[in-house]
Amino acid sequence: MHPRKKPYELILYEYLRIRRGLSSDENSKYRKLKKGYEGELLFDAYIDNLSCDYLSLTDLWFSHNNRFFQVDNILLMNNTIYMYEVKNFLGNYYYENEKLFIEPNQEVDDPLTQLKRSEALLRQLLKNLEFLNHVQAKVVFVNPEFTLLQAPRTSKIVLPSQLNRYFHKLQQAPTRLDISFHHLAEKLQSIRLEKSPYIQYPIYDYNQLKKGIPCRSCHKFFETVEGRTCICHYCGMREALHSAVLRAIEEFAFLFPDQRITTDRVSHWIHLSLPEKRIRYVLNKYYIQKGKNKGAYYVKKNNYT
């Protein structure tokens, strides 16, 4: 119903990684975001395969009584509210004295603790919305390379080897979703927060960033243009010039939302020797010109500010 968007923060790190490199802290943050996102995509594939009547809400942040909490997925199905905490852990883990460890013996945050908190907060939130249905909360481990030894016998965990059977079972007696669940989905969409309140943006500066257009495949920068095609000298990938230029403009707009898009700026940003009219062609095709002559700048076509 709502295809999962790549998180803003992950896109930002991807761009910076290519154009200025990441510090070791930023790099571990980036890897964590990437792994989390890949895990959520793996989980979405199971949801997409459901054949019964359902609604699925993804990557939700809520605030309740001044406390923030996140839910990876809420599935409304069988007139039940299922909430999932999706984990893309890889390797051998084990529980000991109700604590979770990765082998050989490093303690990690226990997703069951996280689940307990977000489940309690979601329940309170739903109560405020006068929605008193039962919530079924699970931690789902999606990575096939994940092993959990000495797993606690809780019904709160779904292991990779159980995922198929779990979803098969959920669909055994399909029921039509009551209209009240459609209202609930709309309500949840309307109160969710735009993004995580905990994002700490990396600091970056235009001058630090390498200029040019990175190849979509290997991320090395295009060096030359042949006719109307960019050809990557490293991996051989070909891309239409207008598509590569458009990508670079969108990246510039994402990284510097307060900057006006002008032909000069784009030309400096893409760092390829191109006649100005080629750049203007792309801008005129996908953007709207505002102002005239020297003061001309461009805004996106669906953006009328």
Shortest Å distance, C-beta 231 to Zn ion:
9
Q: Are 139 and 88 in contact (CB under 8 A)?
A: no
Of residues 45 through 64, those in contact with Zn ion by CB under 5 A are: none
For Zn ion, the closer CB: 163 or 272: 272
Of residues 197 through 256, those in contact with Zn ion by CB under 5 A are: 215, 217-218, 232, 234-235, 237
**Helix/strand/coil for 97:** coil
DSSP characters for 217-275?
TT-PBP--EETTEEE-TTT--EEEHHHHHHHHHHHHHHH-TTS-B-HHHHHHHH-S---
Shortest Å distance, C-beta 235 to Zn ion:
3
Shortest Å distance, C-beta 217 to Zn ion:
5
* Strand positions, DSSP E, the chain: 54-64, 67-77, 80-87, 91-96, 99-102, 106-108, 135-141, 146-149, 157-158, 225-226, 229-231, 238-240, 287-290, 297-300
Shortest Å distance, C-beta 158 to Zn ion:
39
What is the CA 236 to chain-centroid distance, rounded? Answer: 29
For Zn ion, the closer CB: 128 or 217: 217
Joined tokens for residue 176: 């039509």
For Zn ion, the closer CB: 108 or 218: 218
Per-residue binder mask for Zn ion (CB under 5 A), 160-199, x = binder = ----------------------------------------
For Zn ion, the closer CB: 193 or 235: 235
Shortest Å distance, C-beta 230 to Zn ion:
10
For Zn ion, the closer CB: 149 or 235: 235
Strand-pair partners of 240? 229
| Residues contacting Zn ion: total by CB under 5 A | 7
CA distance 159 to 150: 13
Binding site for Zn ion (CB under 5 A): 215, 217-218, 232, 234-235, 237
